[in-house]
Structure 1
Amino acid sequence: MIRVVIADDHLVVRTGFAELLDTQPDFEVAGTAADGAEAVRICRELVPDVVLMDVRMPGMGGIEATRQLAGAGAGGPRVLILTTFDLDEYVYDALRAGASGFLLKDVTAERLFDAVRVIAAGEALLAPAVTRRLISEFARLGPRSEAPALPTLTPRETQVLRLVAEGLSNPEIAARLVVTEETVKTHVSRVLNKLGLRDRTQAVVAAYESGLVVPRSWS
């Protein structure tokens, strides 16, 4: 059972997502919140697996709430940001705050279900339009001085991280490197552990911020 909390300041949005999720036997809507502070409080009380988090909310916004929840460590919920195309400027900040992915508010029911399951499983979820915005932002900012060090990675792990950052799935990486998918999963897991990262989304951020992947090299 995947426990979900929905945080959005619009009652219609909260109710709509809750009703959709309730139609699935493997989902449980543990609670809802109208702002970021309430979302943090409810998540600490109810310990959900996934939070659907709006960005713009009164008081504490979604990015600060995400930062507080992600800072709780490995036991914290995975955050799926609810966004619209005109909110893409928040993508970079939300990812650095610890969000695991993005979901457009006009998403279909099936896409919503898939997104929650993907995030709950620890995978990344970045829509193509969001990914383009993210890449352009990395290109503008360049590598950051406080980026995590990568020397602890083996050459193969570094190669896998680079391919993850370029958007390849585990099967695609396996085909590229001529190894099994299980081997790729092992490499990805080791990369996350060595760099102290929660999931693939944070791995993408680390790869760009360290300069391992340069956007213009594959645009």
Structure 2
Amino acid sequence: MPSGIRNRNRRTEDGGPSPALPPRERARTGASRGCGVAVRVFVVDEQALFRAGIRHLLSDAEGFELAGEAESAERALHLLQELSPAPDVVLIDPRSEAGAGTVAIRALRSEPAPPDGAVNGADGGNGANGANGVRGGRAPRALAVSVQDDDDSVMAALRAGASGYITKQTSERELLRAIEIVAEGGAVFSPVIAKRLNEYFSTPHTASCRSMFPQLTGRETQVLDLLARGWSNGRIAKDLVLTEKTVRNYVSQILVKLDVHHRAEAVVRAREAGLGVLS
């Protein structure tokens, strides 16, 4: 559970209450997807207390709204089939119910959108719905939220199609920002998860990195390598002297050629092949 939610009434060292988010901070943290357009969030978690905490957090935060909640992955998929419009982001614990959460993440996957349909990652947009039949246009993106941060848990969620992975110790403000990033098509990881990913991929495979993806052009391989280093579209564009739109187009082409649905999946594939490792 996010520490800011779990510890709403915790006392600080000087005896005062530990605040959740002051009004100004809430406003700064709130999503900005256009006038009056809130980020719709669906919560899947076995713990009623965690769901209640997220419910209260979203009601207090500007630019977010709760689209629904479920106590199990099976119930969530059933509700999402009937929900229209579909939520933007589904918060889900991939390790719940003996791995049923990971199965649900895979069910939420959708086909990649055209290049111009993506923001901050070119892995979403108005693509076709997943096999689970989610209604209301683009299928929602999954953000894994768990107390587990071991390699197996993280990699299973990313391979299933999660757009990010954060721990339940994440602060309220960081959680809201993570939701916003995922809603915009980006990938996000809490610091401890990013560290574990770096450790997991610390030793590149011996096979030639470039020969692992013969379907990619030289420029696409170059972009993929920079993605695997964790670079943003803006940084890649600046380094390669390209426009951000051109970089988004490259990313979309990479997703199609690698037959993956999200930017995070492409990064996993690249790092497993040895790309993105600084020499």
**TM-score bin (small chain):** 0.7 to 0.9
Deviation at residue 94 of structure 1 after TM alignment: 0.7
| Corresponding residue for residue 191 of structure 1 | 254
| Corresponding residue for residue 65 of structure 1 | 104
| Corresponding residue for residue 45 of structure 1 | 82
Structure 1 portions without partners, runs of 5+:
none
Write 1 or 2 for the structure with the bigger share of helix.
1
SS at match of 2:92: strand
1:11-44 deviation line (CA, Å, top 9, x unaligned): 1110111111122343221111112111222222
Moved over 3 A (4+): 85-89, 135-144
Does residue 79 of structure 1 match 2:132? no
Counterpart CA distance in 2 for 1:59 and 1:150 is 34
- Alpha carbons of 1:59 and 1:167: their partners in 2 closer, same or farther (altered >3 Å)? closer
Does residue 218 of structure 1 match 2:264? no
Counterpart CA distance in 1 for 2:101 and 2:201 is 21
1:85-141 deviation line (CA, Å, top 9, x unaligned): 555530011100111101221222221221111101111112232123234434679
Aligned residue pairs total 212
Deviation at residue 78 of structure 1 after TM alignment: 0.6
Counterpart CA distance in 1 for 2:220 and 2:103 is 32
The structure that has the greater radius of gyration is 2
| Corresponding residue for residue 214 of structure 2 | 151
Code of the residue aligned with 2:256 in structure 1: it is N
| Corresponding residue for residue 168 of structure 1 | 231
Structure 2 portions without partners, runs of 5+:
1-37, 111-129, 132-136
Aligned CA-pair RMSD: 2.7
- Alpha carbons of 1:141 and 1:45: their partners in 2 closer, same or farther (altered >3 Å)? farther
Code of the residue aligned with 2:102 in structure 1: it is I
Code of the residue aligned with 1:101 in structure 2: it is G
Does residue 55 of structure 1 match 2:118? no
SS at match of 1:38: helix
| Corresponding residue for residue 28 of structure 1 | 65
Whether the 8 Å contact between 2:204 and 2:275 is mirrored in structure 1 is: no
SS at match of 2:108: helix
Within-5 A mapping of 1:119-138:
119-138=182-201
Whether the 8 Å contact between 1:33 and 1:39 is mirrored in structure 2 is: yes
- TM-score, length basis structure 1: 0.83
Whether the 8 Å contact between 1:66 and 1:99 is mirrored in structure 2 is: yes
Whether the 8 Å contact between 2:166 and 2:193 is mirrored in structure 1 is: no
Identity of aligned residues (%): 40
SS at match of 2:95: coil
Counterpart CA distance in 2 for 1:61 and 1:140 is 31
Counterpart CA distance in 2 for 1:98 and 1:52 is 13
Whether the 8 Å contact between 2:161 and 2:262 is mirrored in structure 1 is: no
Whether the 8 Å contact between 1:92 and 1:137 is mirrored in structure 2 is: no
